[in-house]
């Protein structure tokens, strides 16, 4: 299926690895031109180098960073059609999960909201005028199933993502009549650096359960989360959904939350 993305201009945050890398690669394969944003590049992102890709090194904890990204998209490619707010999860230097409400302090909460909500607010604020100049566009915010099924860990993260869902719904109502669609994609546990990096979720849960990290990712975590598929989500599976939402083929989809979670959520 032709997603009609050829020549369209996209910004993808958190583009150097994991879901962001998969999203960037998928949009490039569909003919889009991409401004890939991350604090630093990666060999995998460098391997995608070409005339349709520009990497911009930014820290989204910097309030001015989103505006610079939109400016670069306009300078390099003449406008902006797609914004994928993928960067999120643990802020720089933070490891999750954190267990219990009393664990995160005020600074932890501020950092979590800065990275997972306020950076998105600023990016959308910067992107909308550029999209309106092109007659519309598509914004895809990467949320989490945790926003819809919170538990007794990562309170700050789940609250920030719940706020992101609410933001998305409101934006879709306000700017839909002007041609800008806004949706969320809610992954479940995805096999990304959040899990695989040293000191990440796999190591933390391995310490809590007495198992090894590979067993956590392959068996224990899917069983703990009662994943219907029996495995963590592959980043490409999320990227494919993002590309469809970015596409004009999804012209009547706005204000939606598409779940890619291996069957984690069980409610209607």
Domains of the chain are 9-188+234-256 (3.40.50.720), 191-232 (no CATH)
**Is a pLDDT exceeding 90 seen at residue 68?**
yes
**Is a pLDDT exceeding 80 seen at residue 194?**
no
pTM over 0.85? The answer is yes
The first and second tokens of residue 179, run together, are 């041609």
**Which tens digit of pLDDT belongs to each residue from 201-221?**
778 887 888 888 888 778 888
**Which tens digit of pLDDT belongs to each residue from 136-155?**
999 999 999 999 998 898 99
**Which tens digit of pLDDT belongs to each residue from 13-66?**
999 999 999 999 999 999 999 999 999 999 999 999 999 999 999 999 999 999
Write down the pLDDT at residue 70. 98
pLDDT class of 93 with cuts at 50, 70, 90: confident
Is residue 157 flagged as an active site residue? yes
d(CA 27, CA 149): 30
Is residue 161 flagged as an active site residue? yes
List the catalytic residue out of 17, 40, 157, 169.
157
d(CA 159, CA 165): 10
Q: How far apart are the first and last CA of the chain?
A: 29
List the catalytic residue out of 17, 40, 161, 169.
161
Residue with tokens 């980043």: 235
């Amino acid at each position: 299926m032709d997603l009609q993305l050829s020549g369209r201009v996209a910004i993808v945050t958190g583009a150097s690895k994991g879901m962001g890398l998969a999203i960037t690669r998928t949009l490039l394969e569909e003919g889009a031109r991409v401004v890939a944003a991350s604090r630093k590049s990666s060999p995998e992102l460098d391997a995608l180098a070409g005339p349709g890709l520009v990497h911009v090194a930014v820290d989204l904890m910097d309030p001015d960073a989103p505006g610079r990204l939109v400016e670069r998209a306009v300078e390099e490619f003449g406008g902006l059609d797609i914004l994928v707010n993928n960067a999120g999860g643990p802020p720089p230097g933070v490891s999750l999960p954190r267990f219990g409400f009393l664990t995160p302090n005020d600074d932890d909460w501020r950092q979590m909201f800065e990275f997972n909500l306020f950076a998105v607010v600023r990016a959308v604020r910067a992107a909308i005028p550029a999209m309106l100049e092109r007659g519309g566009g598509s914004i895809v915010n990467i949320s989490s199933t945790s926003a819809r099924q919170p538990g007794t860990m990562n309170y700050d993260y789940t609250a920030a993502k719940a706020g992101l869902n609410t933001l998305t719904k409101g934006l879709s109502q306000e700017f839909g009549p002007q041609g800008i669609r806004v949706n969320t994609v809610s992954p479940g546990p995805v096999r990304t650096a959040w899990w695989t990096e040293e000191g990440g979720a796999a190591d933390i849960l391995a310490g809590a359960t007495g198992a090894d990290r590979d067993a956590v990712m392959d068996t224990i975590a899917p069983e703990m989360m009662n994943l219907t598929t029996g495995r963590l989500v592959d980043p490409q599976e999320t990227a494919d959904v993002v590309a469809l939402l970015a596409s004009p083929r999804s012209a009547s989809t706005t204000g939606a939350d598409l779940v890619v979670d291996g069957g984690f959520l069980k409610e209607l």
